[in-house]
Amino acid sequence: MMSTSPHGRTELLRPDGSPVRVLVVDDESALADLLSMALRYEGWEVRTAGDGAEAIRTTRELRPDAVVLDVMLPDMDGLTVLGRLRRELPDVPVLFLTARDAVEDRIAGLTAGGDDYVTKPFSLEEVVARLRGLLRRSGAAAARSESVLAVGDLILDEDSHEVSRGGQEIHLTATEFELLRYLMRNSRRVLSKAQILDRVWSYDFGGQANVVELYISYLRRKIDAGRSPMIHTRRGAGYLIKPGE
């Protein structure tokens, strides 16, 4: 499945469709914050730890899909931390950060089970690219196919025209499908009746606003019935769709 992150890059997601989880372990808080910001920009859930003990505790809580791990930590070295992490999550991919570029260090890290290695100073783009590669290879995350839209547990396949929520198939008419597709392509964004008419029905606003209200009510019966509402009205502004609470 595929989604697009705010900057246009194909978004990696966990198999259940939730955001990728990454743990950043570095005692330099400014660097950890910078890395976290770059990874959150990918749409990922990020936690940080400043030493080995905190990294191990956070791993138990977060169950990360990947770890960015500084080799030099105040309480224990990165290789020791790696061994402890791997006891918790044997297959979690690990990207080492180090200020040293000696061949022996590189071999020691990879032999100990680290999956990749970048040396300081590094570019944020390089770290993100390496992590994306590790996540894809490990199977912890995958890109969604371009035909699939997802908002929370609501899934719409633009190719097959299949729609489901929480794994239950939902049957829509052609017009309902087009309306839902337009809402989902603009999730969390308020769309006016005029915008919806122009995009879904392809004619001007003139006196036809009630058809939008009517089809929104049809969709609500099928999408929201007995579930946490996803389709919302913003009085005087329009409609939006967002994940249910």
Cβ contacts of residue 165 below 8 Å, gap of 6+? 153, 154, 155, 223, 227
Q: Is the pTM of this model over 0.75?
A: no
- CA torsion sign for 213, 215, 217, 223 is negative
- CA torsion sign for 146, 148, 153, 154 is positive
* pLDDT tens track for 133-190: 888 887 766 555 557 888 888 999 887 889 999 888 999 998 899 999 999 988 889 9
* pLDDT tens track for 86-136: 888 888 999 988 776 555 665 565 556 667 888 888 888 889 988 988 888
**Tokens representing 105?**
């260090």
